[in-house]
C-alpha cells in the first residue's frame, strides 16, 4: 500500500480537525439572553455568557429597556432566559432558573427641613425613578398609592438631565464612584434606623406588603460622605428567568454551571455571591424554582426510602407482628372450633348409646328432640362462625342424621319397641 506524502497527510488531518470543530459548534445549545441596559445587568450578563460558552452553550445577548419587555419576550419564546428583578406578582409559566444578585434601592434627596417620613420625602418634589415601567418606577407608584399621595403632589421626571431631580429612586447595583461624585449635593434616605432592624421598621413593613422586597443595610461610609452612617434601605432579588417549557436537563446544567462559577461571575459584580449560592431557599422566590435547578439543588438530599428507612422498617416489623398475631389467633380459634365440634360428636354418640334403653314412645321422642336440639345448636354456631363449616361439619350432620334414622327405626317396631 502506497503511503501518502507527509504534507498530504497533514492537510487531511487539518481538514478533519476543522470538520470536527464545525460539528462540535453546531451541537451547542443556543441560549438567547434578555438583558436590561442598566448596570450591573450587562456586566453580569457578559460573565454569564463567558461561563456558559465554556460549557457547550452558545449565548446571544438581546438588550431591553424594561423588565416587562423581558418577561413578555420569555413568554412569547423570543428569548430563552432573561435577567429581571423579581416581579411583585407571579406570572404563569415563568420560573426562576437561578438567583443572581440583590438589586438595591438608593433613595437620595436634596436636604431640606421636614423630611422625616415618606410623605415628606415625596410631596412637592421632582422625582426621577428610572425609565417608565422600570422596577424603581413601579415601586414609586406602589408606595405613593399605598400612602395615598396624589400624583398631583409630585412630579416624575422622564430623565434626570432636563431638570435636576429633588429625589432619586435608583434601583440597581452599588453606585459607581463617578455617580457618587455627581450626587454630593444629596443625602441618603433610610426606611427606618439601621440599628432598629427587627423591631418593626418601615422597611420590614414594606417587605411584608411586597413579597419581592427585603430590607438591606448599606454599611456606613460605603459611599463616603454620602452615607456616613449605615442606611436601612430595600432590595429585590435579580434572577435568571425562563419559560416553564425549558428542558429540565438544560435548566439543571445552567444552574450547576453558574453556581460552580459564582466567584468568577462575582469578579465583575461583588454582590453576585449574596444570591448565587447553595443557601438558596426556593420557598422565598417570587417565581417558582425550575424543576431542573431544584433537582441539582437537592442532589445530595436523601431519597424518600433513605429519609424514612427507620420508620418504614418499624412499620414492616409492626405489620409482620400484627399478621403473625392474626394468624396465631385464627389458628387458635380454628382449634377451638374443632374441639367444640368434637364435643357435639361425643354428645350425639352418647345419645345414640341410649337408643336401646329408650323402650317407650315418650323416651324415644325425648331422645329425638335432644338430637334435633343438638343439631340446631351446632347449626346456630356455624351461622355465627363460631365453628368450622368444612368437611368435619358435613360429617357431623351426616352422623347426627344417621342417629335420627336409627331412632326412627325403633318406632317402626311399635310404641313399646317390640317388633
Where do the structural domains in the chain lie, given as residue ranges?
Answer: 25-301, 309-411
Q: Residue 259 and residue 277: Cα distance in Å, rounded?
A: 6
Give me Rg for the CA atoms of the chain: 44
Per-residue model confidence (pLDDT) at position 33: 98
- Return the minimum-mean-pLDDT range out of 168-172, 246-250, 288-292: 168-172
CA 156 to the chain's CA centroid: 41
Per-residue model confidence (pLDDT) at position 113: 59
Per-residue model confidence (pLDDT) at position 18: 46
Residue 204 predicted with pLDDT over 70: yes
Q: What are phi and psi of 212, to 5 degrees?
A: -90, 5
* 12 confidence band (pLDDT: 50, 70, 90): low
Residue 32 predicted with pLDDT over 80: yes
- Return the minimum-mean-pLDDT range out of 13-22, 173-182, 376-385, 404-413: 13-22
Check if the beta carbon of residue 214 is closer than 8 Å to that of residue 207.
Answer: yes
Is the pLDDT higher at 280 or at 340?
A: 280
- Return the minimum-mean-pLDDT range out of 16-20, 99-103, 136-140, 162-166: 16-20
Q: Residue 84 and residue 213: Cα distance in Å, rounded?
A: 14
Residue 14 predicted with pLDDT over 70: no
Cis before 40 (ω within 30): yes
Nearest C-alpha neighbor of 367 from the set 342, 397, 400, 412: 400
Per-residue model confidence (pLDDT) at position 403: 85
Per-residue model confidence (pLDDT) at position 265: 96
Kindly state the average pLDDT of the residues 237-247: 96
* Percentage, residues of the chain above pLDDT 90: 45
DSSP string, 41-73: HHHHHHHHHHHHHTTTEEEEEEEESSHHHHHHH
Residue 222 predicted with pLDDT over 50: yes
Nearest C-alpha neighbor of 154 from the set 173, 133, 169, 170: 169
Nearest C-alpha neighbor of 172 from the set 50, 42, 281, 32: 42
Kindly state the average pLDDT of the residues 365-382: 85
In 3-state terms the chain splits into helix, strand, coil percentages (rounded to 5) of 50, 15, 35
Contacts of 155 (CB under 8 A, 6+ apart): 125, 126, 127
* 3 confidence band (pLDDT: 50, 70, 90): low
* 381 confidence band (pLDDT: 50, 70, 90): confident
Kindly state the average pLDDT of the residues 170-181: 91
Burial track 297-335 (b if 16+ CB lie within 10 A, e otherwise): beeeeeeeeeeeeeeeeeeeeeeeeeeeeeeeeeeeeee
Q: Residue 40 and residue 42: Cα distance in Å, rounded?
A: 6
Mean pLDDT of the chain: 85
45 burial (CB, 10 Å; 0-12 / 13-18 / 19+) is buried
Per-residue model confidence (pLDDT) at position 380: 82
* pTM score, whole prediction: 0.66
Kindly state the average pLDDT of the residues 337-350: 78
- The residue assigned the cell 341410649 is 354
**CA angle (352, 355, 357) in 5-degree steps:** 130
Provide the H-helix boundaries in 147-231: 177-182, 202-209
Residue 22 cell numbers, joined? 464545525
Kindly state the average pLDDT of the residues 236-258: 96
Residue 338 predicted with pLDDT over 80: no
Residue 312 predicted with pLDDT over 80: no
Strands 155-156 and 167-172: unpaired
Neighbours of 150 (CB within 10 A): 9
Residue 411 predicted with pLDDT over 80: no
Per-residue model confidence (pLDDT) at position 305: 58
Element (H, E) at 31: strand 29-36
What is the 8-class DSSP label of residue 133? T
Kindly state the average pLDDT of the residues 342-366: 84
Nearest C-alpha neighbor of 288 from the set 29, 99, 63, 44: 99
Residue 70 predicted with pLDDT over 90: yes
Kindly state the average pLDDT of the residues 133-153: 87
Is the pLDDT higher at 259 or at 138?
A: 259
What architecture (CATH level 2) is domain 25-301? 3-Layer(aba) Sandwich (3.40)
- CA distances to 23, 307, 378 from 300, in Å: 35, 12, 66
Per-residue model confidence (pLDDT) at position 419: 42
Amino acid at each position: 500500500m502506497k503511503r501518502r506524502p507527509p504534507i498530504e497527510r497533514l492537510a487531511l488531518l487539518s481538514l478533519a480537525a476543522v470538520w470536527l470543530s464545525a460539528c462540535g459548534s453546531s451541537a451547542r445549545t443556543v441560549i438567547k439572553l434578555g438583558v436590561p441596559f442598566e448596570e450591573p445587568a450587562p456586566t453580569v450578563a457578559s460573565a454569564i455568557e463567558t461561563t456558559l460558552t465554556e460549557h457547550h452553550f452558545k449565548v446571544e445577548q438581546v438588550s431591553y429597556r424594561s423588565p416587562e419587555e423581558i418577561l413578555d419576550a420569555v413568554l412569547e419564546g423570543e428569548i430563552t432566559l432573561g435577567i429581571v428583578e423579581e416581579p411583585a406578582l407571579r406570572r404563569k409559566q415563568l420560573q426562576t432558573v437561578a438567583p443572581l444578585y440583590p438589586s438595591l434601592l438608593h433613595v437620595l434627596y436634596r436636604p431640606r427641613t421636614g423630611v422625616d417620613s415618606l410623605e415628606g420625602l415625596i410631596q412637592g418634589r421632582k422625582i426621577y425613578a428610572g425609565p417608565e415601567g422600570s422596577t424603581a418606577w413601579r415601586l414609586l407608584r406602589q408606595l405613593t398609592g399605598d400612602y395615598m399621595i396624589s400624583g398631583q403632589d409630585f412630579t416624575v421626571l422622564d430623565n434626570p438631565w432636563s431638570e435636576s431631580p429633588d429625589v432619586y429612586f435608583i434601583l440597581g447595583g452599588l453606585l459607581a464612584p463617578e455617580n457618587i461624585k455627581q450626587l454630593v449635593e444629596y443625602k441618603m434616605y433610610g426606611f427606618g434606623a439601621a440599628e432598629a432592624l427587627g423591631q418593626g421598621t418601615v422597611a420590614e413593613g414594606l417587605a411584608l406588603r411586597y413579597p419581592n422586597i427585603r430590607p438591606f443595610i448599606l454599611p456606613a461610609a460605603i459611599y463616603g460622605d454620602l452615607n456616613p452612617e449605615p442606611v436601612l434601605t430595600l432590595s429585590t432579588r435579580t434572577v435568571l428567568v425562563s419559560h416553564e417549557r425549558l428542558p429540565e436537563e438544560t435548566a439543571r446544567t445552567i444552574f450547576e454551571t453558574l453556581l460552580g462559577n459564582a466567584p468568577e461571575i462575582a469578579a465583575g459584580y461583588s454582590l453576585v455571591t449574596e444570591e448565587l449560592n447553595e443557601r438558596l431557599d426556593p420557598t422565598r422566590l417570587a417565581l417558582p424554582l425550575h424543576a431542573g435547578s431544584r433537582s441539582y439543588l437537592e442532589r445530595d438530599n436523601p431519597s424518600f426510602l433513605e429519609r424514612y428507612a427507620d420508620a418504614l422498617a418499624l412499620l414492616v416489623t409492626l405489620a409482620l407482628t400484627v399478621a403473625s398475631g392474626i394468624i396465631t389467633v385464627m389458628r387458635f380459634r380454628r382449634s377451638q372450633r374443632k374441639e367444640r365440634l368434637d364435643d357435639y360428636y361425643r354428645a350425639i354418640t352418647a345419645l345414640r348409646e341410649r337408643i336401646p334403653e329408650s323402650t317407650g314412645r315418650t323416651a324415644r321422642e325425648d331422645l329425638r328432640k335432644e338430637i334435633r336440639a343438638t343439631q340446631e345448636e351446632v347449626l346456630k354456631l356455624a351461622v355465627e362462625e363460631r365453628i368450622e363449616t368444612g368437611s368435619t361439619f358435613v360429617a357431623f350432620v351426616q352422623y347426627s342424621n344417621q342417629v335420627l334414622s336409627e331412632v326412627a327405626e325403633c318406632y317402626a317396631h311399635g310404641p313399646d319397641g317390640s317388633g
